[in-house]
């Protein structure tokens, strides 16, 4: 009885293997464009017919091939990119396996026209049915032109599963744009059914972004730039105003190769903190440059996935640089009023995404806001330590010590010629919003979420340090509490102590509050502690927040000044100063916007002044 295991015929094995490399017309486009780039081309043309099903052609003015090389290139594992194991461990080209052309030739009819810069006559190679090869000498342009016809003609099952022409064309366009973005110094042309649909001229990365997306796209982006000896990151991230509800506009490149990496994407998402709402995806075009020996790109035929030697270090580097970039731009939303007031949705404020921003330009903020160099920590605590104590009676008599600094000492150290007009007005609207004058028009701040942001970062800093400060209670508070909350408080007590709470656990249902953070209003200690525990449990159930972050958010939410609390002018000014001292003044810890701007131009337009 003969064995049941057989060696597959080569032509059948090639067709099966081709499935890993050639999944759809877009796969062919990607492989051919990458080969053209590896060949040193300065001009590349892509020609598509019937969404690539009948023709995919890529022509370049690169190095070209000799007749011998042209015959070899369609053989499996034939490549000019690597020759040793050491080369494989430090890949510097887009292609390297030598699988692409042989895989393409196994499922299509291939024609290659090529000529080196040194040769006077070129070579024509045709791969017909069942691997039949025809070669001849021809007159052709310097470089290489590869035509792929009748894709999957000999594997009808695979051809049947291709999507509509519009879907397949979209995949091709996406890949063309991704490759063009990574290579701005190359001229790219894209013809679809004889129509020129893209003509990208060589230039800078900024030029290419404008060509691929829109002329004003750069106004909606923030520039990322960090170069070190070991790892570098550069490119652009989108402002919050161009966040999307779908994936697809995250362009990540490693040493010039487009890749997909969930960890790095998460680092970018995390850097935006709560600016991102649930379901939002940021826009970015980022280029990561690392020693090729520190990364493995040979883990999947598509070469979209990579493996880093130290994924955690890469994550932290990207997170740090994106956070630093965000902090170096003024991201206060500049909004415009919708013309239509027919429905509640249509009458909301619309964010204008294309307002140009310059790095480290924070001039469009309240012009009375000064450095706190002249105000001591004790002075700040006089305002914010007892802010909620004094809310109900906030008037001109509140906080005379800080009045002294704002009205005399701080003013005397500033420009003596400064007028009240230069300082700009500040008012509280319905004990809810703070309105103040800025260079471009009007800034509106939600007082509750602004204070939340301040307290949240203060809480995190305290929990990370070992310098707790507690406000001792003259009369300790005895508090009855159910066993479940009691156990949670015991678990959280190391963090609570760093925040400034001093608790004594007396029995299964009693605790004594002996000290609290100075931010807590006298008389509200027990209520706030209960509300913090409840908020912590809700956050854990619904969002699975990490303990420290959860506690900081719960504390800030329940301790912050509330809508309806009246603030004095000095309290409002100090609130704004401290807000802009935080790392992320634009959103509260839960993601709600803290402040917006409305320009004078918008007011002029509404009053018919334009």
Ranges of each domain in the chain: 10-203, 213-327, 362-610
Mention the CATH class of domain 10-203. Answer: alpha beta
**pLDDT by residue (tens digit) across 167-207?**
999 999 999 999 999 999 999 999 999 999 999 999 999 99
Confidence band, pLDDT 50/70/90 cuts, at residue 136: very high
Mention the CATH class of domain 362-610. Answer: alpha beta
Q: What percent of the chain has pLDDT over 90?
A: 50
Name 234's bridge partners: 225, 287
- Whether 10-203 and 362-610 share one fold: the answer is no
Q: What percent of the chain has pLDDT over 70?
A: 78
Q: What pLDDT, on the 0 to 100 scale, is given for residue 386?
A: 46
**pLDDT by residue (tens digit) across 82-100?**
344 444 444 445 544 457 7
Q: Which residues contact 71 (CB under 8 A, 6 or more apart)?
A: 125, 133, 135
Q: What pLDDT, on the 0 to 100 scale, is given for residue 94?
A: 55
Q: Residue 147 belongs to what H/E stretch?
A: strand 143-149
User: Residue 551: CA atoms inside 13 Å, Cβ hemisphere, count?
Assistant: 23
pLDDT at 410 exceeding the cut of 50: no
Confidence band, pLDDT 50/70/90 cuts, at residue 145: very high
**pLDDT by residue (tens digit) across 501-557?**
999 998 778 899 999 998 898 899 999 999 999 999 998 888 788 899 999 999 999
pLDDT at 393 exceeding the cut of 80: no
Confidence band, pLDDT 50/70/90 cuts, at residue 343: very low
Strands 250-254 and 284-290, by their bridges, are: parallel
Across residues 422-427, what is the average pLDDT? 78
Q: Looking at per-residue confidence, does 231 or 395 come out higher?
A: 231
Classified as helix, coil or strand, 266 is: helix
The Cα 539–Cα 139 span in angstroms is 71
pLDDT at 60 exceeding the cut of 80: yes
Q: Looking at per-residue confidence, does 543 or 281 come out higher?
A: 281
pLDDT at 330 exceeding the cut of 90: no
Confidence band, pLDDT 50/70/90 cuts, at residue 559: very high
Name 318's bridge partners: none
Provide the Cα torsion 263, 267, 272, 278; round to 10°: 20
Classify residue 522 by its DSSP letter: T
Q: What pLDDT, on the 0 to 100 scale, is given for residue 303?
A: 57
Q: What pLDDT, on the 0 to 100 scale, is given for residue 591?
A: 81
CATH fold for domain 213-327: Ribosomal Protein S5; domain 2 (3.30.230)
pTM to 2 decimal places: 0.74
Question: CA-CA distances (angstroms) from residue 374 to 2, 412, 512, 597?
Answer: 95, 11, 39, 28
């Amino acid at each position: 009885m003969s064995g049941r295991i057989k060696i597959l015929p080569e032509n059948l094995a090639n067709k099966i293997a081709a499935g890993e490399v050639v999944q759809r017309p877009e796969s062919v486009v990607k492989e051919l464009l990458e080969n053209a780039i590896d060949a040193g081309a300065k001009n590349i043309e892509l020609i598509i017919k019937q969404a690539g099903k009948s023709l995919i052609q890529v022509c370049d003015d690169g190095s070209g091939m000799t007749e011998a090389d042209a015959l070899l290139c369609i053989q499996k594992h034939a490549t000019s990119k690597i020759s040793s194991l050491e080369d494989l461990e430090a890949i510097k080209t887009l292609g390297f396996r030598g699988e692409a052309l042989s895989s393409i030739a196994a499922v299509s009819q291939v024609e290659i026209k090529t000529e080196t810069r040194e040769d006077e006559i070129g070579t024509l190679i045709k791969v017909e049915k069942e691997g039949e090869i025809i070669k001849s000498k021809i007159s052709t342009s310097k470089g290489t032109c590869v035509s792929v016809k009748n894709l999957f003609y000999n594997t009808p099952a695979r051809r049947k599963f291709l999507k509509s022409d519009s879907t397949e064309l979209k995949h091709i366009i996406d890949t063309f744009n991704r490759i063009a973005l990574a290579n701005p110094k190359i001229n790219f042309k894209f013809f679809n059914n004889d129509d020129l649909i893209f003509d990208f001229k060589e230039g800078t990365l900024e030029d290419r972004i404008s060509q691929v997306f829109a002329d004003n796209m750069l106004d909606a982006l923030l520039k990322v730039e960090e170069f070190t000896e070991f790892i570098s990151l550069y490119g652009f991230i989108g402002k919050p105003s161009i966040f999307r509800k779908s994936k697809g506009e995250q362009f990540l490149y490693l040493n010039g190769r487009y890749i997909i990496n969930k960890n790095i994407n998460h680092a970018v998402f995390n850097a935006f903190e709560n600016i991102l709402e649930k379901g939002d995806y940021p826009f970015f075009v980022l280029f990561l440059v690392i020693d090729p020996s520190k990364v493995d790109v040979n883990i999947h035929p598509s070469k979209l996935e990579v493996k880093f030697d130290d994924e955690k270090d890469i994550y932290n580097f990207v997170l740090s640089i994106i956070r630093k970039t965000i902090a170096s731009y003024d991201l206060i939303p500049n909004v415009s009023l919708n013309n239509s007031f027919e429905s509640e949705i249509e009458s909301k404020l619309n964010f204008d995404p294309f307002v140009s921003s310059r790095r480290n330009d924070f001039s469009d903020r309240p012009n009375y806001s000064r450095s706190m160099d002249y105000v001591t920590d004790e002075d700040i605590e006089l305002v914010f330590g007892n802010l909620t104590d004094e809310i109900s009676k906030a008037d001109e008599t509140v906080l005379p010590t800080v009045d002294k600094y704002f009205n005399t000492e701080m003013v005397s150290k500033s420009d003596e010629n400064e007028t009240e007009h230069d300082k700009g007005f500040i008012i509280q609207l319905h004990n809810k919003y703070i309105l103040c004058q800025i260079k471009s028009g009007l800034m509106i701040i939600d007082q509750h979420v602004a204070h939340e942001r301040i307290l949240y970062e203060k809480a995190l800093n305290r929990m990370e340090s070992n310098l707790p400060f507690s406000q001792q209670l003259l009369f300790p508070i005895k508090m009855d509490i159910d066993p479940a909350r009691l156990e949670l408080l015991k678990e959280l007590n190391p963090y609570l102590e760093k925040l400034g709470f001093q608790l004594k656990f007396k029995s299964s249902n009693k605790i004594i509050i002996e000290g609290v953070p100075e931010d807590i209003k006298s008389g509200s200690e027990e209520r706030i502690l209960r509300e913090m525990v409840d908020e912590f449990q809700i956050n854990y159930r619904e969002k699975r927040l990490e303990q420290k972050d959860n506690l900081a958010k719960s504390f800030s939410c329940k301790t912050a000044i509330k809508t309806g609390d009246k603030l004095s002018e000095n309290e409002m000014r100090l609130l704004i100063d401290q807000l802009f001292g935080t790392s992320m003044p634009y959103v509260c810890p839960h993601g709600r916007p803290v402040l917006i701007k409305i320009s004078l131009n918008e007011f002029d337009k509404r009053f018919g002044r334009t």
